Structure 1
Amino acid sequence: MSYNTGKKESSPVSPLKKRRASWSELWVNHHHLLSSSPLDLAAKFQSLTPPISKSKTLLPDFTLLLPDLILIRVIQKIPNSQRKNLSLVCKRWFRLHGRLVRSFKVSDWEFLSSGRLISRFPNLETVDLVSGCLISPPNLGILVNHRIVSFTVGVGSYQSWSFFEENLLSVELVERGLKALAGGCSNLRKLVVTNTSELGLLNVAEECSRLQELELHKCSDSVLLGIGAFENLQILRLVGNVDGLYNSLVSDIGLMILAQGCKRLVKLELVGCEGGFDGIKEIGECCQMLEELTVCDNKMESGWLGGLRYCENLKTLKLVSCKKIDNDPDESLSCCCPALERLQLEKCQLRDKNTVKALFKMCEAAREIVFQDCWGLDNDIFSLAMAFGRVKLLYLEGCSLLTTSGLESVILHWHELEHLKVVSCKNIKDSEVSPSLSALFSALVELQWRPDTRSHLSSSLTGTGIGEKGGKFFKKT
């Protein structure tokens, strides 16, 4: 017999009816979670997770527990190529992604002038404005690549090379854009810009005291009047007159202004500049920290090589795409660059024996010599390289006129040679390697020998010890 007392029997409480942890409690305790190890953190997340009904599929966003600083550190671990996708997750991730971007190439000037660039990417350190300074037509379709700059033009609108200069933004618009950029990016370290003015540079220098690298396209002497305001500038690239794109003049006056204003300069590149002996001399005397000088598309006046003797701390001299090196070099030069370590010539005309002789004499202290795709470098011209007495590295690429005997006649006189690289020099043959040359190969620290596609010497040397100090001799068979 059973009796009903009117009281309901107690039943076990269902797990689904337990009180769920509130998000406020989780948020208050997030600092305890962050101080735990990764394994402990995972366990605590699992224990604090509110039970989810089988009928619900929406998971809670645990990233809300992480402050911005921690989440940024997590995003930094993701490859750069995938970070852009993260910005599509939500507004917060979009904003955090913008804070991580350090480099940006502006193609739409309105994006800069409207302030959206700065608000989207507040921590930029490198900004390239060259493409944005060009007015792009609406019917885009043709990409024009120049080794100095690339730009897009409309179908049917590209009639001549003057298109670039005719469609540049005005100097006033560029000035206003630079002022807006400088006002929002005080941490700027590198700037690339074209068609600016002295005032535009002053606006940047006033706000961006940390700027260390500057690249000026369509530069002129008057623009360089504002260069001295950059107190920490170390790397400078000046693009003056570029055949087929635009005309602008950097003369000795501009180089002297540069020398007086940039005392801490370490690297300098002159593209299409028309200075001379006086300008180079002034740079050598004033820029005592200058270690690397590059001259591209040389339009220098006759005798400019003589000014290099005043660059007492210059370690690297690089000449690129120079149809001429010096029209009338001073053959009576008695001094050289005492600290020079590397001479690099790329796509240069080396047919004038007097000019090459003067250049080699000026650089006779160099320990590393590089020739890449230089026209006119035959046995006669290369024989002048015996002026280099302490060469440790020789790199030859694309020197089709040089023969095996011409190479041997020079490098056998270099008793300190340790590294030899010969690539794509079709007149240097395996079959012409003499016993003396093979003996030299065996004493080298590094040997890269690929003069042509038929060369089998490189593969046959594998495991023989040739190219290693004290290795075996390779003898002609």
Structure 2
Amino acid sequence: MRGFDRINAVLPDELVLEIFRHVESKPSRDACSLVCKRWLGLERLSRDTIRIGASATPDSLVKLLSSRFPNIRYVFIDERLSISLPVQYGKRRRISRAVPSIGRFRDGSDQSVGGDDGIATSCLSDSGLGAVGDSFIKLEKLSLIWCSSVTDLGLRSFAEKCKSLKSLDLQGCYIGDEGLAAVGECCNFLEDLNLRFCEGLTDTGLVRLVLGCGKTLRSLGVAACVKITDVSLEAVGSYCRSLESLSLDSEIIQNKGLLAVAKGCSLLKVLKLQCINITDEALQAVGVFCLSLELLALYSFQKFTDRSLSAIGKGCKKLKNLTLSDCYFLSNKGLDSVAAGCPELMHIEVNGCHNIGTDGLKSIGKFCVRLSELALLYCQRIESDALSEIGKGCKFLQALHLVDCSGIGDDSICSIAKGCKNLKKLHIRRCYEVGNKGVIAVGQHCKSLTDLSLRFCDRIGDDALISIGQGCSLQHLNVSGCHQIGDAGIIAIARGCPQLSYLDVSVLQNLGDNAMVELGEGCPLLKDIVISHCRQITDIGVRYLARKCTLLESCHMVYCPGITEAGVATMVTTCSRIKKVLVEKWKVSARTKRRAGSIINYLCVDL
């Protein structure tokens, strides 16, 4: 019956709140809050997370949000994000375009960004951080990303008010030892701490924190803190017996610190290291003492050898995720030790390890039967048949990434296609020996493939995409720089992949309007498209695409001589959901700029 409320009259508040908690999408939650005043109030009560970017008056914004969302447990403040505040929160009023926008909150505080203190008001201050502590009494997690105006005084004030805090991220904040020590004294339930780029910290602050909350600390991240040395890690090893995750990026840390952690933190599950001064001695200790290790990532190591990986293979039987990046002295022998000793491995990434080649990959295929993701980047010693054992042994492989592996060709891709039929993601970039034959095999055998990227593989043409279109239902496709692909290949994708949501066809010189028409007809779910450097696409193709793909949110179309001001105007006016258009500045008319200036991004700007 028209005008009869079939929901509010029946459902109690508790049930509506529970429904809102299961709506994860923020736009969907916002839409729900617009239904009626009751739903608006209940939706605000159900929210537990807010994110705040750089704004004119973050302190006032914190107070405003706390009055509207009383049950917030997670607060993220990131001053790298440029987010403008609404001009007013009350009644609408006219604002002259000749002067900067100046708003006023209901509590009377200004939103002005001008004046002598304009810089200060655009950053969260100590008083604003204090307001976070006062306002969000249920707060469990706080992230302060590059909040440069927050000092030790503000952090102490906050810590004294939020003693139930469990997670703290201080990335890029200029806080010192006294502020961190206050956290250790007051926040005795702290579990996660991130200190990336906290340049003002020394061993004194971190040691005092560990003394206060070391028993509960489970995750610690330290990067680019030049005054934090082995002394801090020794304290971590002594007091943080429950530590499960350590991420360390330092040119100062030596073996002594990591040895202390390995011996003292036997529950360690995640270890990420970028420490140029650590050698085999420390990593061998990890293999001996950290028997619960599940993830190991080693970056830019120049002083350890296969002996370290041999120890990892012997001791860390639960290892599931291994990343080796720019580790110059590792060879096939070390990778073989890990593959043979860690049967639980599911993710392996080898990046720029120039002494690892075909034999190492064969060991992975032979022993790592549970492997689900493999990434090989800049591995020049891997030969054409390197992936044959992967295809035979890794039947559960779902994702394969290949970048600048010049020796890998069609034979390897055919082996993967025939053996790894559960493959869902295939990314290949600048592997110039891969051609139509390998990709055709993928289309014939890998029916679950949804994400395909073939960037700058210049031997791949239309025949490959025709096979993919006939055999797979793609959601993401990137064929940027595959200059042999033209209308026929993209038309096959348009007709065979109706679920396609992302498409990058940049630098395809033979692609024209016919492909755009077919995409409009066959891919109604398309949200993001990149057609830059496509010289044959004109306003006609753009007009058809914009009219048919009603969900389109972003379009990159620079260096397309066939697209004029009219095409740009069509895109921004026809697509109601468009959020970003990348185009040359001279193609944007004054009228288009007035109507959609906020979504236009320019390739070049005036100097």
Shorter-chain TM-score range: 0.5 to 0.7
Alignment TM-score, normalising by the size of structure 2:
0.48
- Tell me whether 1:111 sits opposite 2:184 in the alignment: no
Residues 238-387 of structure 1 aligned to structure 2 (within 5 Å): 238-241=298-301, 247-251=302-306, 253-273=307-327, 274-299=329-354, 300-309=356-365, 310-326=367-383, 329=386, 335-345=392-402, 347-353=403-409, 356=412, 360=416, 364-376=420-432, 379=435, 382-383=438-439, 385-386=441-442
Aligned to 2:456: 399
Q: Is the CA contact 2:380–2:407 (under 8 Å) kept in the aligned structure 1?
A: no
Percent identity over the alignment is 16
SS of residue paired to 2:309: helix
* Separation in 2, partners of 1:205, 1:439: 56
Correspondence for 1:226: 285
Is it true that 1:131 corresponds to 2:191 in the alignment? no
Aligned-partner Cα distance in 2 for 1:362–1:437? 22
Instruction: Determine which of 402, 427, 440 is the counterpart of 2:483.
Output: 427
Give the Cα–Cα distance (whole angstroms) in 1 for the partners of residues 458 and 201 of structure 2.
51
Deviation at 1:364, TM superposition (A): 3.5
Query: What is the CA distance between 1:293 and its match in structure 2?
Result: 0.6
Deviation per CA, 1:154-203: give whole Å up to 9, x if none: xxxxxxxxxxxxxxxxxxx9543310233454554223145656553331
Considering only aligned residues, what root-mean-square deviation do their CA atoms show, in Å?
A: 4.6
Distance 1:400 1:286 in 2: 36
| Structure 1 partner of 2:158 | 93
Structure 1 runs, 4 residues or longer, greater than 6 Å off: 69-72, 330-334
Deviations 1:112-153 (A, max 9, x none): 42x2124357556544445235x8xxxxxxxxxxxxxxxxxx
1:72-112 Cα offsets, whole Å, 9 max, x none, are: 7445587645797496458543555734672112655x934
Q: Do the aligned residues in 1 keep the contact of 2:229 with 2:257 (CA within 8 Å)?
A: yes
**SS in structure 2 at match of 1:407:** helix
User: What is the CA–CA distance in structure 1 between the aligned matches of 2:143 and 2:490, rounded to whole Å?
Assistant: 51
The separation in 1 between residues aligned to 2:411 and 2:153, in whole angstroms, is 59
Q: In structure 2, do the counterparts of structure 1 residues 277 and 75 end up closer, same or farther at CA, with 3 Å as the change threshold?
A: closer
What amino acid is aligned across from residue 298 of structure 2 in structure 1?
A: L
Q: 1:352 to 1:198 in 2, by over 3 A?
A: same
**Cα distance per residue 1:315-361 (max 9 Å; x no partner):** 1111123334348849788833122121112x323355388459747
User: What SS class does the counterpart of residue 393 from structure 2 fall into?
Assistant: coil
C-alpha contact 2:384 2:408 (8 A) present in aligned 1: no
3-state SS, counterpart of residue 318 of structure 2: coil
1:198–1:226: 8 Å Cα contact kept in structure 2?
Answer: no
Q: In structure 1, what is the Cα distance between the partners aligned to 2:206 and 2:381?
A: 43
Determine the structure 2 residue equivalent to 1:46.
none
Closer, same or farther in 2 for the Cα pair 1:102/1:340, shift >3 Å? same
Q: Which residue identity lines up with residue 93 of structure 1 in the other structure?
A: F
Residues 240 and 90 of structure 1: is their aligned pair in 2 closer, same or farther, counting only changes over 3 Å? closer
- Residue 396 of structure 1 aligns to a residue whose secondary structure is strand
Contact 2:464–2:489 under 8 Å retained in 1: no
Render the CA deviation track for 1:31-74: whole Å, top value 9, x for unaligned. Answer: xxxxxxx99x9xxxxxxxxxxxxxxxxxxxxxxxxxxx998744
Letter in 1 for 2:326: G
Q: Which amino acid aligns with 1:131?
A: A
Matched pairs, number: 358
* TM-score, with length taken from structure 1: 0.60
**Which residue number in structure 2 is paired with residue 151 of structure 1?**
none
Asked which structure has the greater CA Rg, the reply is 1
Say whether the 8 Å CA contact 2:379–2:404 is kept in structure 1: yes
Cα 1:334–1:437 change in 2 (3 A) is: closer
Q: Secondary structure at the match of 2:395?
A: coil
| Aligned match of 1:143 | none
| Deviations 1:427-475, CA, capped at 9 Å, x for gaps | 265533487555323xx4335333027766786467635367xxxxx9x
